[in-house]
């Protein structure tokens, strides 16, 4: 019956329905007439709204409504989102409930409270008083559905929350999911491993990752998916959420998703792009692949004859490099140059960068000629190829090599003729010294005043000649040096005052050095004549005392040895090698008795005189015989050197070697051949070190 009247009243717009909007952060509202009995036919709605991010807490301070089965008469109905609560009566029963001490919480930031009464309130129920307040929600703790929860980190604040991401992730524009920046992945190595970010942990959401493998043309890339493959999937639609797409040249592979690995993909391309798209949800673990590349193959190489290829492989492919080497003793010839090794490379076209050169045997070429010597080939065909051997020898009669020298040279891989001891240096042919080819006759007339030198028996003698007239003698040592007396080359600076100590050097072009001469004034076929290139006087030469009266003449070229021209040996040691009584031969074109110049070279054979005896003789005359001088001659006189003989040789036979050596050079004396006077000579052994230092001559 009540229901009938309700409809009528409502239809007649007599219903007391009204709506109140409550927007504060807190407040209260009551049933009409509270705390008096509420009126019948009430229909009041309170719409409570608080700011977003807040919820509403509703608490009833008082509640007293007419009880009815399932609250069919009077009630308070609270709705918020899907939430619905209905209260009535004075106490809770099995079928109805009152709010009591419990608060009611809204689903979101709004709540609607409807108070409805029927047509009668017979017992004067007093209604209700309700309080509400906005309360903050900790969205981070509250279970939000996946579409609104933070992907990585959640931060609550009063009235709201915000999300943040782990290191290396960035917050997507949805302010919720975390994506990665992953479009700059370029792989240029020939092999490698590529995987989804964080693999095998869940990959980032809302991301588009691009991976590029970029190799040189000529390579072909193969991808091999290994391990877990797990991308968000859909049972009916092909990869609508997350997917992997692969582009290789004109070809496309994929999209791939789900848990079935794509396995091996031969892309047939040198450039591959892998696109990985993820949406804003899902917790799948991603993918990983290893990529490898092979180059275009090149044909197998046959090593050249007498050569080898390194490394030896079954297949050579693009970028592979091989070294082609010749066996020892062989070399490549490239543009006229000899090359040790050749490097060729397999090109992208599948061909080698150049052809295979041929190995040519090393040729050391004609060996260098040996001065005063010759070469003997050890092979029949005078071969100069790798491994060939030759021997150097000296021209037999006049030259000799160091006796202990191994003179074999071998053609080596460096193109040189090499000797075990000397390397590539050539041996030296030293002139034979002190061994005249022509011996003086064994029975000689003993001419006290001297005898004619038999031609060639003193082949070392040199004539110093000015305007065709001999003025001094000398001795050939080595190939280009002549020893003479220093005073022969020094002229008094004032010709009117011969006693003057200071002297000037003779003009080097004013005299000739003649070798192979026997006649005094007549040119001979056997002779060789030179202008000295250099004059070196002993540093201790004293022009007034004739100490160290010795000098060296350097010849402009090497003397060709022959029967009539051969050097004299130097003394073996620098301590005196001549002793009192030793017989020496002195030769020269100097003056003879009656002051005449001889027609030919003359020689005398005289004994070495006791140094003290000689010293004494000359000290009486006020002249000094010093230790660098040696005297020879006969007490009775007769056999002596004289003017013009100066610088000439005083020689003796070395007992040990049986060779002639230069004991002294004619220097001075008081007169010529007078009794109780001796010829004074510069002792060569005393100047030996100085001579050897300058000339580098050693006796062989």
Nearer to ligand 4AZ, 296 or 458 (CB): 458
Nearest distance from C-beta of residue 456 to ligand 4AZ, angstroms: 25
Q: Which residue has 């992730």 as its token pair? A: 169
Nearer to ligand 4AZ, 405 or 597 (CB): 597
Nearer to ligand 4AZ, 151 or 605 (CB): 605
**Residue 693 half-sphere exposure toward CB, CA atoms < 13 A:** 8
Nearer to ligand 4AZ, 130 or 641 (CB): 641
Nearer to ligand 4AZ, 180 or 672 (CB): 672
Q: Are 244 and 252 in contact (CB under 8 A)?
A: no
Range 145-171 burial, b when 16+ CB lie within 10 A, else e: eeeebbbbebebeeeebebebeeebeb
Nearer to ligand 4AZ, 116 or 611 (CB): 611
- Which strand ranges, in their side-by-side order, compose the sheet holding 264-266? 192-195, 288-295, 219-225, 264-266
Nearest distance from C-beta of residue 659 to ligand 4AZ, angstroms: 26
User: What's the rounded Cα separation, in Å, for the pair 216 and 189?
Assistant: 10
User: What's the rounded Cα separation, in Å, for the pair 281 and 241?
Assistant: 8
Residue 584, preceding peptide bond in cis (omega within 30° of 0):
no
Nearer to ligand 4AZ, 232 or 645 (CB): 645
Nearest distance from C-beta of residue 641 to ligand 4AZ, angstroms: 4
User: Of all residues in this chain, which one has the CB nearest to ligand 4AZ in the complex?
Assistant: 669
Nearer to ligand 4AZ, 98 or 486 (CB): 486
Residue 134, preceding peptide bond in cis (omega within 30° of 0):
no
Interaction residues for ligand 4AZ, span 83-122 (CB under 6 A): none
**CA 656, 659, 663 angle in degrees (round to 5)?**
95
Nearer to ligand 4AZ, 441 or 622 (CB): 622
User: DSSP secondary structure string, 130-148?
Assistant: EEEEEEE--TTTS---TTT
From candidates 669, 687, 695, 697, binder to ligand 4AZ by CB under 6 A: 669
How many CB atoms sit inside 10 A of residue 587's CB?
26
Nearest distance from C-beta of residue 651 to ligand 4AZ, angstroms: 16
Nearest distance from C-beta of residue 383 to ligand 4AZ, angstroms: 59
Q: Pattern 358-397, binding to ligand 4AZ, x per CB under 6 A? A: ----------------------------------------
* Segment interacting with ligand 4AZ, rule: CB under 6 A, options 277-285, 528-536, 595-603, 667-675: 667-675
Nearest distance from C-beta of residue 449 to ligand 4AZ, angstroms: 13
Q: Which residue has 């609607």 as its token pair? A: 112
Nearest distance from C-beta of residue 640 to ligand 4AZ, angstroms: 4
User: What's the rounded Cα separation, in Å, for the pair 185 and 212?
Assistant: 6
| Residue 679 sits in the site that holds ligand 4AZ (CB under 6 A) | yes
Nearer to ligand 4AZ, 137 or 632 (CB): 632
From candidates 516, 668, 684, 691, binder to ligand 4AZ by CB under 6 A: 668
First to last CA, the chain: 160
Which residues face 464 on adjacent strands? 472, 513
Size of the site for ligand 4AZ (CB under 6 A): 11
Residue 99 tokens, joined: 């709010």
Cα–Cα distance list, 668 to 226, 358, 499, 591 (Å): 110, 75, 15, 13
- For 189-329, strand residue ranges (E) read 192-195, 208-214, 219-225, 243-248, 251-256, 264-266, 271-277, 288-295, 297-298, 307-310, 316-317, 321-326
Residue 102 neighbours by CB under 8 Å, 6+ apart = none
Nearer to ligand 4AZ, 74 or 645 (CB): 645
Nearest distance from C-beta of residue 612 to ligand 4AZ, angstroms: 19
Nearest distance from C-beta of residue 588 to ligand 4AZ, angstroms: 9
User: What's the rounded Cα separation, in Å, for the pair 488 and 505?
Assistant: 9
Nearest distance from C-beta of residue 694 to ligand 4AZ, angstroms: 24
Closest CA to 639 of 613, 618, 666: 666
Nearer to ligand 4AZ, 71 or 652 (CB): 652
Cα–Cα distance list, 678 to 302, 473, 543, 635 (Å): 89, 19, 20, 7
Q: Are 454 and 440 in contact (CB under 8 A)?
A: yes
Nearest distance from C-beta of residue 619 to ligand 4AZ, angstroms: 17
Kindly state the helix (H) or strand (E) to which residue 611 belongs, with its residue range: helix 611-620
Phi and psi, residue 247, nearest 5°: -115, 130
Nearest distance from C-beta of residue 511 to ligand 4AZ, angstroms: 15
The secondary structure of 491-527, three-state, reads EECCCCCCCCCCEEECCCCCCEEEECCCECCCCCCCC
Catalytic machinery residues? 487, 549, 646
Interaction residues for ligand 4AZ, span 614-653 (CB under 6 A): 640-643, 645-646
User: What's the rounded Cα separation, in Å, for the pair 273 and 252?
Assistant: 9
Nearer to ligand 4AZ, 64 or 645 (CB): 645
From candidates 98, 221, 239, 666, binder to ligand 4AZ by CB under 6 A: 666
Nearest distance from C-beta of residue 632 to ligand 4AZ, angstroms: 10
| Residue 465 sits in the site that holds ligand 4AZ (CB under 6 A) | no
Range 2-24 burial, b when 16+ CB lie within 10 A, else e: eeeebeeeeeeeeeeeeeeebee
Residue 277 neighbours by CB under 8 Å, 6+ apart = 207, 208, 209, 242, 243, 244, 245
Cα–Cα distance list, 331 to 339, 353, 390, 420 (Å): 6, 20, 22, 23
The secondary structure of 54-110, three-state, reads EEEEEEEEEEECCCCHHHCCCEEEEEECCEEEEECCCCCCCCCCCCCCCCEECCCCE
| Residue 592 sits in the site that holds ligand 4AZ (CB under 6 A) | no
Interaction residues for ligand 4AZ, span 38-67 (CB under 6 A): none
Pairing between strand 16-22 and 42-49?
Answer: parallel
Give the footprint of ligand 4AZ on this chain (CB under 6 A): 640-643, 645-646, 666, 668-669, 672, 679
């Amino acid at each position: 019956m009540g229901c009938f009247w309700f409809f009528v009243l409502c239809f007649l717009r007599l219903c007391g329905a009204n709506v109140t909007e409550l927007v504060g952060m807190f407040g209260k509202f009551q049933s009409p007439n509270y705390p008096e009995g509420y009126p019948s036919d009430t229909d009041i709605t309170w719409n409570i709204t608080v700011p977003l991010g807040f919820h509403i807490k509703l608490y009833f301070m008082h509640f007293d409504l007419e009880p009815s089965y399932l609250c069919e008469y009077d009630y308070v109905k609270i709705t918020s989102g899907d939430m619905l609560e209905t209260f009535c009566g004075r106490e809770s029963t099995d079928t109805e409930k009152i709010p009591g001490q419990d608060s009611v919480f809204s689903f979101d930031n709004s709540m609607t409270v409807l108070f409805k009464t029927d047509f009668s309130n017979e017992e004067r129920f007093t209604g209700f008083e309700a309080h509400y307040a906005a309360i903050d929600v900790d969205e981070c703790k509250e279970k939000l559905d996946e579409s609104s929860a933070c992907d990585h980190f959640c931060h609550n604040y009063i009235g709201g929350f915000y999300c943040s991401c782990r290191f290396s992730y960035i917050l997507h524009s949805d302010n919720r999911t975390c994506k990665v920046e992953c479009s700059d992945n370029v792989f240029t190595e020939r092999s490698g491993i590529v995987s989804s970010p964080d693999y095998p942990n869940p990959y980032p959401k809302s991301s588009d990752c691009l991976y590029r493998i970029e190799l040189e043309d000529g390579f072909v890339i193969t991808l091999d998916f290994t391990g877990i493959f797990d991308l968000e999937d859909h049972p009916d639609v092909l990869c609508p959420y997350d997917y992997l797409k692969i582009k290789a040249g004109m070809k496309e592979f994929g999209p791939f998703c789900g848990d079935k690995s794509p396995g091996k993909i031969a892309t047939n391309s040198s450039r591959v792009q892998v696109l990985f798209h993820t949406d804003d949800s899902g917790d799948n673990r991603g993918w990983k692949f290893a990529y490898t590349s092979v180059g275009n193959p090149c044909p197998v190489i046959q090593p050249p004859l007498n050569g080898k290829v390194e490394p030896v492989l079954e297949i050579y492919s693009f970028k592979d490099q091989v070294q082609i080497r010749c066996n020892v003793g062989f070399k490549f010839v490239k543009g006229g140059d000899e090359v040790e090794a050749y490097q060729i490379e397999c090109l992208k076209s599948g061909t080698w960068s150049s052809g295979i050169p041929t190995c040519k045997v090393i040729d050391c070429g004609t060996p260098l000629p040996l001065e005063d010597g010759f070469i003997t080939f050890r092979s029949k065909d005078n071969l100069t190829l790798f491994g060939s051997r030759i021997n150097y020898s000296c021209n037999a009669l006049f030259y000799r090599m160091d006796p202990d020298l191994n003179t074999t040279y071998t053609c080596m891989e460096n193109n040189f003729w090499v000797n075990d001891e000397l390397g590539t240096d050539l041996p030296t042919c030293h002139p034979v010294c002190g061994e005249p080819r022509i011996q003086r006759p064994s029975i000689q007339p003993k001419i006290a005043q001297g005898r004619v030198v038999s031609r060639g028996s003193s082949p070392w003698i040199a004539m110093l000649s000015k305007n065709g007239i001999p003025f001094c003698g000398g001795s050939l040592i080595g190939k280009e040096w002549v020893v003479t007396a220093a005073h022969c080359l020094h002229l008094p600076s004032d010709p009117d005052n011969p006693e003057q100590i200071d002297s000037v050097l003779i003009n080097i072009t004013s005299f000739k050095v003649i070798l192979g001469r026997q006649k005094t004034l007549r040119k001979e076929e056997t002779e060789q004549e030179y202008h000295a290139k250099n004059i070196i006087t002993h540093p201790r030469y004293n022009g007034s005392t004739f100490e160290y009266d010795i000098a060296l003449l350097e010849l402009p070229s090497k003397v060709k040895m022959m029967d009539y021209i051969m050097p004299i040996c130097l003394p073996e040691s620098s301590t005196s090698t001549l002793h009192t009584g030793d017989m020496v031969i002195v030769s020269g074109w100097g003056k003879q008795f009656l002051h005449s110049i001889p027609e030919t070279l003359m020689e005398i054979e005289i004994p070495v005189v006791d140094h003290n005896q000689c010293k004494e003789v000359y000290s009486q005359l006020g002249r000094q015989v010093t230790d660098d001088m040696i005297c020879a001659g006969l007490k009775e006189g007769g056999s002596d050197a004289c003017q013009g003989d100066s610088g000439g040789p005083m020689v003796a036979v070395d007992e040990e070697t049986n060779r002639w050596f230069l004991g002294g050079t004619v220097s001075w004396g008081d007169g010529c051949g007078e009794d109780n006077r001796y010829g004074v000579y510069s002792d060569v052994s005393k100047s030996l070190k100085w001579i050897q230092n300058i000339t580098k001559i050693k006796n062989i």
